Amino acid sequence: MNSVNQETIMQFLSLMENVDERMKGTFQNMHHGYPTKTLVRFLKAREWNVQKAHKLLIECLQWRIQNEIDNILAKPIIPTDLYRAVRDSQLVGLSGYSKEGLPVIAIGVGLSTFDKASVNYYVKSHIQMNEYRDRVVLPTATKKSGQHINTCLKAVKPLLQERTKRKIQVLQGCGRDELLKIMDYSSLPHFCGKEGSGSSRHSSNGTRDNCFSLDHTFHQQLYNYIKQQAMLIETGLPIRQGSVHVDFPVPDPEDTRIAKTIQCEFHRPANPNGLCNH
């Protein structure tokens, strides 16, 4: 990292020293001991413009405080049947880890139906998975690998800068052969693990554990963690049911254009002409 970037980071750190204690507290739940690396993420998102990056981070912290995101991992979706319905219609999961110890997160793009519960439950579940990933999964992976592991924001290719495009590889078919170069078979998402010709070399019945299902190890660990956190906070009190309403800022026209582009790109395979209607 060059001296100019170092100076920019120091300016950002100086600005963050002036935020109030509530913001400092929720910021700790974001950086997990790596404040500088977290600030770099926001700087990169705003082309290393300190003022714009600072504004973005402050808005993020304000959103977390207003919506009590720091406590969301102590608010389980109950009863279990309701949570199972959410999992069956919101297809996201962690299938395992790469050979370098990086979490392998699978998303059923275009396959989630979101029709088994109210939208607030889906929003709540989505945020819970992100928070669990950032507070539990990634710190654990960091300790095991000996290097800091975090997340980054990725959009569809037409919206990315060239340096980010070069980091993305689109695999043919299910991509199993290429994925096996960086992860073991046991970490492949279930939709990449089918054996041809009825082979059962890797499993007793030729099928794999569905990483989207509540029965998968990751989702069992996540759900149990949330229930345990709720018990710690509300010892002796029944767990209260209820979805979480999260406020979202009204997007500006540019954000709306980006959202439409992303939606178009996700559905492009189904459009033989490769055209988008805006």
Cβ atoms 45, 54 nearer than 8 A: no
Question: Are residues 239 and 230 in contact, defined by beta-carbon separation less than 8 angstroms?
Answer: yes
Average pLDDT over residues 185-194: 83
Q: Averaged over 255-268, what is the pLDDT?
A: 51
The arithmetic mean of pLDDT across residues 235-264, rounded, is: 55
The reported pTM is: 0.76
In Å, how far from its chain's centre is CA 111?
17
The helices-and-strands tally (H runs, E runs) of the chain is 11, 2
Residues 155-176: b if buried by 16+ CB within 10 A, e if exposed: eeeeeeeeeeeeeeeeeeeeeb
- pLDDT of 271 reads 45
Lowest mean pLDDT among 34-43, 93-102, 170-179: 170-179
Report the 10 Å Cβ neighbour count for 21: 7
Alpha-helical segments (H) within 74-216: 80-89, 119-132, 138-145, 162-165, 176-179
